[in-house]
């Protein structure tokens, strides 16, 4: 038998050793030894890497900071833009909610025709309670037409131009609304005041008015349609030496936050002036 050449033998032995080491490593037997050998190298490499990164950061960080600052400013601008957009959208949602409520009200009363209008101003006089709306005679609005919201009665049109109208609120001191008390079926007059409070007047002394009594328009006088919600009684005042008792009324409509209204354009005002008896001298 011919002996293998020493060179080939060395290669085979080398391969066997390598395969053996690989097998031992795969089996996990060499892990402690490898760890013992590799750990110092890993530690040195980590330290070296840290130093290199520090040097790299030293040269590149200022540029990154300026980039970050620029990016931050861009994002802040974007946030501001989005915030203003959110506010605008919230405003639109709020308007849409009001308009949907008005639409629901109009749909619930299909017998009447309405014109929706936005409140664009208020009377500058502190003694009077009027609002300005953005629709006028071009949209079919006429003097005396009742104005409502989904909650209830607001007032009536007092003056009209082609594109705007002035509405007298029921809280105005010269406003008088004939109303009916829902439970006890008695009628009275609702009058406004300079400070915006509503008072129920002309209630006979013998009538018992309950706190919380709901008030609806009676339709008497022909100025307002019947059965519109107006408010509720919150207190009563009764004096024995007076002919009538009075009551303080909480309006159903919040006049301070009024943003949109409906003008009842189909309502025909009945002029009872010729029927009122005149005093002859």
Partner 1 sequence: MSNLLILPILIFLCMIQVVAISRLPLLHGKADLILLVIIAWGLQEKARNAWILALLCGLLISFVTASPFWSIILPYVTVAWLARHLHSRIWQSPLLAMILITFIGTLFQHFLMILGLIFEDITINFSDIFGSITLPNLILNMILAVLVFVLVKDIAGWVYPVEIHE
Q: Give residues in contact with partner 1 (CB under 8 A).
A: 120-128, 130, 132, 158-159, 166, 168, 172-174, 193-196
Closest CB 198 distance from partner 1, rounded Å? 14
CB nearer to partner 1: pick between 125 and 280: 125
If DSSP codes are grouped into helix, strand and coil, which group holds residue 279?
coil
Question: Are 249 and 137 within 8 A, CB to CB?
Answer: no
The answer to whether 124 and 107 are in contact (CB under 8 A) is no
264 and 223 Cβ atoms separated by less than 8 Å = no
Please state the closest distance from residue 187 (CB atom) to partner 1, in A. 21
DSSP 176: E
- 113 neighbors 264 (Cβ within 8 angstroms): yes
Q: Three-state SS for 275?
A: helix
Q: Which H or E run contains 73? A: helix 31-108
CA distance between the termini of the chain = 162
Tokens of 24: 């031992």
Which lies closer to partner 1 via its Cβ, residue 16 or residue 159? 159
Q: Which is nearer to partner 1, 24 or 132 (CB)?
A: 132
Bridge partners (DSSP) listed for residue 205 = none
Minimum gap (Å) between residue 73 Cβ and partner 1: 33
Shortest separation between residue 92's beta carbon and partner 1, angstroms: 19
Rank residues 11 and 159 by Cβ distance to partner 1 and give the closer one. 159
Residue with tokens 């017998």: 111
Closer residue to partner 1 in complex, CB, 195/210: 195
- For residue 281, the minimal CB distance to partner 1 (Å) is 21
Nearest distance, CB of residue 132 and partner 1, angstroms:
7
Structure tokens belonging to residue 81? 């833009």
The set of residues, in sequence order, having a beta carbon less than 8 Å from that of 14 and lying 6+ positions away, is: none
Residues found in the chain: 281
Sole residue written with tokens 């006429």: 142
Please state the closest distance from residue 174 (CB atom) to partner 1, in A. 6
CB of 173 to partner 1, least distance (A): 5
Select 196 or 221, whichever has its Cβ closest to partner 1.
Answer: 196
Of 111 and 273, which has the nearer Cβ to partner 1?
273
Select 123 or 139, whichever has its Cβ closest to partner 1: 123
What is the 8-class DSSP label of residue 138? G
CA distances from 249 to 112, 181, 207, 236 (A): 27, 12, 16, 9
Q: What share of the chain is helix, strand, coil (3-state, %, to 5)?
A: 40, 25, 35
């Amino acid at each position: 038998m011919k002996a293998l050449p020493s060179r080939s033998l060395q290669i085979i032995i080398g391969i066997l050793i390598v395969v053996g080491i690989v097998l031992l490593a795969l089996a996990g037997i060499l892990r402690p030894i490898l760890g013992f050998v590799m750990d110092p190298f890993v530690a040195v490499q980590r330290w070296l890497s840290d130093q290199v990164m520090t040097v790299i950061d030293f040269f590149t960080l200022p540029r990154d900071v300026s980039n970050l600052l620029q990016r931050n400013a861009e994002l802040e601008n974007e946030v501001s833009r989005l915030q203003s957009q959110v506010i605008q959208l919230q405003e639109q949602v709020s308007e849409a909610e009001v308009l949907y409520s008005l639409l629901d009200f109009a749909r619930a009363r299909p017998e009447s025709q309405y014109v929706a209008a936005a409140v664009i101003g208020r009377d500058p006089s502190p003694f009077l309670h009027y609002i300005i709306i953005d629709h006028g005679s071009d949209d079919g609005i006429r003097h005396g037409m009742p104005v409502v919201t989904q909650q209830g009665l607001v007032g009536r049109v007092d003056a009209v131009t082609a594109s705007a109208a002035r509405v007298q609120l029921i809280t105005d001191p010269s406003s008088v609304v004939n109303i009916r008390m829902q439970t006890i079926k008695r009628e009275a007059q609702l009058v406004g005041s300079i400070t915006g409070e509503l008072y129920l007047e002309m209630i006979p002394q013998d009538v018992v008015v309950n706190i919380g009594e709901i008030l609806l328009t009676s339709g008497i006088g022909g100025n307002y349609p019947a059965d519109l919600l107006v408010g509720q009684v919150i207190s009563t005042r009764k004096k024995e030496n007076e002919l009538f008792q009075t009551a303080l009324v909480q309006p159903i409509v919040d006049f301070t936050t009024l943003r949109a209204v409906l003008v009842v354009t189909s309502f025909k005002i009945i002029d009872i002036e010729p029927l009122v008896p005149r005093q002859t001298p």
